Chain A
Amino acid sequence: MIEARSLSKRFHDKKRGDICAVENVSFTCRPGSIYGLLGANGAGKTTTLRMLATILEPSDGTALVFGHDIVEDPEKVRASVGFLSTATALYPRLTAQEMVEYFGRLNGLGEATLKKRIDDIFDRLDMNSFRDRRCDKLSTGMKQKTSIARTLVHDPPVMIFDEPTLGLDIMAARTIVAFIRECRQTGKTVILSTHVMSEVEKLCDVIGVIHNGSLLAEGTPTQLREEYQEKDLEEIFVKIVTAHVAPHAGVEVS
């Protein structure tokens, strides 16, 4: 379970001054379901997820991740989370197995448990053919599988995906999508950020629309369709954002 409570994040930029990247964002993600954080580039998705993964510290507010407070207990939060994004690359000079072993050890797994977990994951993801190959020699698909194995090695109850398919080819993206579904099936709490509508349609049980750092709307796809009288999620997204932007900034979003 993830419970975000009035999360806010402000940065200071020398040129632009104080910037509010995320403002007063609250939502709940339940186990066995996928929460989709939908927003354009710069909307505040990555900042929100980084705060939930305790990579960034919130300026205000907090969140409970698997019962642990992200401000009070960041290390316990990270031990409960598997975090995957396009910015979480692999160590090029380690082999796929060494990479997964490293994160298993950092998550406190003993050698016997670690070996069993790795054998199990490598069998499940069909990774045995490249387990001893260095990460810089792996194909994109192999890298994705290794990243998945890295996030799964400690069997976290919460999974955070920050635009996980960004820049991937169709086959590598399918591997990720299948993995996210599997996480839901195994009862994990899943939160996913994206701006790809097809991904939202395919995966998300609950959608939160984020824009300019604020959560503007939230609900299941069915609830959102009923509320905005639109079938197409992209149209719904545009309606929500336009309704927010027009009175505030006088900018029309197309």
Chain B
Amino acid sequence: MSARDIGIVYRKELLEALRDRRTLISTILVPILLFPILTVGVGYVVAGLIEEADREPARIMILGGTDSPSIITNLVKSKNLIVVSEPTNYVDLISNKKIRAAVEIPPGLQTGAGTDFAPVKIYMYSGDLKSTTAAKRIEDFFNEYRDNLARDRLTVQKLPASFLKPFVIKQQNVVSAEKVAGETVGGIITYLVIIMCLTGAMYPAMDLTAGEKERATMETILSSPISRTHLVLGKFLLVLTASLVTAALSVTSMGVSSWVIQHFQDQSSGSAMHIKIGLVAVLAVFLVALPLAVMFSAALLTIALFAKSYKEAQSYISPLMIVVVVPAIAAMLPGIELTPRLSLVPILNVSLLCKDLIAGNYHWNSIALIFLSTCLYGGAAIFIAVKMFHRESVLFRS
């Protein structure tokens, strides 16, 4: 009878959720569209801006260099640089984006070969894309000039080019593509799964508790023979479903978006960062995140039940986001490793474990400890939710 009752409540809540535009938007539409917009959309816009900055000739100013005419001549001739001569202060011009950069050529740069001289200084607007591009072009120009100068000197001295660079240094990745994925995108995926488990549960949790009070249907359902425990469990299962669906759709959508971006990068540049996330790793992440979603769903139901209206529930639940974001974001910070003590800290433990799982590191003791402790927290949260549904002061708060 009890499983039947829970099933009846669950099916009814599911039917209502599927007919609710707000639930469909928060559970299905947002996770599907968020990542294509964030990755493909924003990526496209950023790529466009970089391309425009690359294409557009940069206006620059030369300071000094009267005794280095050939350097100035070559600088003026160089592609994508327009040398302007303005009587006003170059700092103001750069600040107002009238010019993108200025280069100060120290006295005797052209003629004083072989002696120590002051550095070539490039003045720029830090953080401004077009200014950074202009500064890079100037730097490239002077790097090339310096290399040519060195080469000419070596030729005069009859020395080989390797005289200045007797050896090269090369970095080589020796770990698997899964481990690279764990370190690079593992934190983001983990963060995403945790946050989406929470946000997916938020709206249904409020709708099924405070929403019921607001619509005056709480008394209707309480007058039916179903026990309050079964009623809470039916509602809880719906919130959990929404939480997991949102998280699964988010990760799928992110995976597809990343694949599309990588596919196009491969085609355009011929090189790609080799990242591999196995399906088993993703499923393992979901398995570990499951008790966390249970905890979120039950906690949100409990908190929202205290509210008399949907609006009030929103104000109770919003601060919870900060409580979850901080430990969830920890997985993205470098240097934080999973320790036995951290294995017991809710959210943070799942966050760090998921990152490990994506990297292909299966430390079974940690997995068992974290899974069991999170199950315990989840069970406690359900217990509290059930208790709250039995409290008249909470159900009929006025």
- Listed in ascending order, the chain A residues whose CB lies under 8 Å from chain B are 11-12, 50, 53, 55-57, 75-76, 78-79, 81, 83, 85-94, 98, 102-103, 105-108, 134, 150
Q: Which of B94-102, B213-221, B275-283, B331-339 lies at the interface with chain A?
A: B213-221
Q: How far is the CA of A93 from the CA of B208 in the complex (A)?
A: 13
CB-nearest residue of chain B to A147: B220
Contacts A102-B8, A105-B8 given; does A90 touch B223 at CB 8 Å: no
Q: Are B225 and A55 in contact (CB under 8 A)?
A: no
- Is B19 engaged at the interface, CB distance under 8 Å to the other chain? yes
Q: Are A88 and B223 in contact (CB under 8 A)?
A: yes
Q: How far is the CA of A158 from the CA of B6 in the complex (A)?
A: 26
Give chain B interface residues in 19-42, CB to chain A under 8 Å.
Answer: 19-20
- Is B227 engaged at the interface, CB distance under 8 Å to the other chain? yes
Interface centre among B12, B15, B223, B393 (most CB of A within 10 A): B223
A-B contacts, CB under 8 A, total: 66
Question: Which residues of B lie under 8 Å from residue A50 when comparing CB positions?
Answer: 219
Question: Which residues of B lie under 8 Å from residue A76 when comparing CB positions?
Answer: 225
Q: Are A85 and B217 in contact (CB under 8 A)?
A: no
- Is B5 engaged at the interface, CB distance under 8 Å to the other chain? yes
Q: How far is the CA of A136 from the CA of B15 in the complex (A)?
A: 15
Question: Can you list 25 residue pairs at the A/B interface with Cβ under 8 Å?
Answer: A11-B393, A50-B219, A56-B392, A56-B396, A75-B226, A78-B223, A78-B224, A79-B225, A81-B223, A87-B216, A88-B216, A88-B219, A88-B220, A89-B220, A90-B217, A90-B220, A91-B220, A92-B215, A93-B15, A94-B15, A98-B12, A98-B15, A102-B8, A106-B5, A108-B1
Q: Are B224 and A107 in contact (CB under 8 A)?
A: yes
Q: Are B16 and A91 in contact (CB under 8 A)?
A: yes
Q: Are B16 and A93 in contact (CB under 8 A)?
A: yes
- Is B222 engaged at the interface, CB distance under 8 Å to the other chain? yes
Return B173 CB to nearest CB of chain A, in Å. Answer: 54
Contact of B12 among A57, A78, A94, A134 (CB under 8 A): A94
Q: How far is the CA of A56 from the CA of B392 in the complex (A)?
A: 7
Q: Are B219 and A87 in contact (CB under 8 A)?
A: yes
- Listed in ascending order, the chain B residues whose CB lies under 8 Å from chain A are 1, 5, 8-9, 12, 15-16, 19-20, 215-217, 219-220, 222-227, 392-393, 396
Q: Are A55 and B219 in contact (CB under 8 A)?
A: yes
Interface centre among B1, B219, B396 (most CB of A within 10 A): B219
Q: How far is the CA of A150 from the CA of B223 in the complex (A)?
A: 11
Question: Which residues of A lie under 8 Å from residue B20 when comparing CB positions?
Answer: 93
Question: Which residues of A lie under 8 Å from residue B392 when comparing CB positions?
Answer: 56-57
Contacts A91-B16, A93-B19, A93-B20 given; does A106 touch B224 at CB 8 Å: yes
Question: Which residues of A lie under 8 Å from residue B8 when comparing CB positions?
Answer: 102, 105-106
Q: How far is the CA of A83 from the CA of B223 in the complex (A)?
A: 6
CB-nearest residue of chain A to B219: A87
Question: Which residues of A lie under 8 Å from residue B225 when comparing CB positions?
Answer: 75-76, 78-79, 106-108
Contacts A88-B216, A89-B215, A106-B5 given; does A55 touch B16 at CB 8 Å: no
Question: Which residues of A lie under 8 Å from residue B216 when comparing CB positions?
Answer: 86-89
Question: Which residues of A lie under 8 Å from residue B396 when comparing CB positions?
Answer: 56
Question: Which residues of B lie under 8 Å from residue A53 when comparing CB positions?
Answer: 223
Q: How far is the CA of A53 from the CA of B392 in the complex (A)?
A: 14
Q: How far is the CA of A71 from the CA of B219 in the complex (A)?
A: 18
Q: How far is the CA of A55 from the CA of B12 in the complex (A)?
A: 21
Beyond known contacts A76-B225, A93-B20: 18 more, CB 8 A cutoff: A55-B222, A75-B225, A78-B223, A78-B224, A78-B225, A79-B225, A81-B223, A85-B219, A87-B216, A88-B217, A89-B215, A89-B217, A90-B217, A92-B215, A102-B8, A102-B12, A106-B9, A108-B1
Q: How far is the CA of A124 from the CA of B19 in the complex (A)?
A: 29
Return A50 CB to nearest CB of chain B, in Å. Answer: 8
Question: Which residues of B lie under 8 Å from residue A106 when comparing CB positions?
Answer: 5, 8-9, 224-226
Return B62 CB to nearest CB of chain A, in Å. Answer: 71
Q: How far is the CA of A98 from the CA of B18 in the complex (A)?
A: 14
Question: Which residues of A lie under 8 Å from residue B16 when comparing CB positions?
Answer: 91, 93-94
CB-nearest residue of chain B to A77: B225
Q: How far is the CA of A105 from the CA of B9 in the complex (A)?
A: 10
Q: How far is the CA of A148 from the CA of B19 in the complex (A)?
A: 24
Return A75 CB to nearest CB of chain B, in Å. Answer: 5
5 cross-chain pairs, A with B, having the tightest CB-CB distances, nearest first = A83-B223, A89-B216, A79-B225, A88-B220, A78-B225
Q: How far is the CA of A78 from the CA of B219 in the complex (A)?
A: 12
Return B336 CB to nearest CB of chain A, in Å. Answer: 43
Interface centre among A11, A86, A87, A134 (most CB of B within 10 A): A87
Q: How far is the CA of A87 from the CA of B216 in the complex (A)?
A: 5
Q: How far is the CA of A60 from the CA of B222 in the complex (A)?
A: 21
Question: Which residues of B lie under 8 Å from residue A92 when comparing CB positions?
Answer: 215
Q: How far is the CA of A132 from the CA of B339 in the complex (A)?
A: 58
Q: How far is the CA of A78 from the CA of B227 in the complex (A)?
A: 10
Interface centre among B8, B9, B220, B227 (most CB of A within 10 A): B220
Q: How far is the CA of A202 from the CA of B171 in the complex (A)?
A: 94
Q: How far is the CA of A11 from the CA of B395 in the complex (A)?
A: 13
Question: Which residues of A lie under 8 Å from residue B215 when comparing CB positions?
Answer: 89, 91-92
Q: Are B224 and A91 in contact (CB under 8 A)?
A: no
Question: Which residues of A lie under 8 Å from residue B15 when comparing CB positions?
Answer: 93-94, 98
Q: Are A103 and B224 in contact (CB under 8 A)?
A: yes
Return B21 CB to nearest CB of chain A, in Å. Answer: 10
Interface centre among A76, A81, A106 (most CB of B within 10 A): A106
Q: How far is the CA of A93 from the CA of B9 in the complex (A)?
A: 14
Q: How far is the CA of A92 from the CA of B226 in the complex (A)?
A: 20
Contacts A56-B392, A102-B12 given; does A91 touch B217 at CB 8 Å: yes
CB-nearest residue of chain B to A103: B224
Q: How far is the CA of A85 from the CA of B20 in the complex (A)?
A: 26
Interface centre among A57, A83, A105, A150 (most CB of B within 10 A): A105
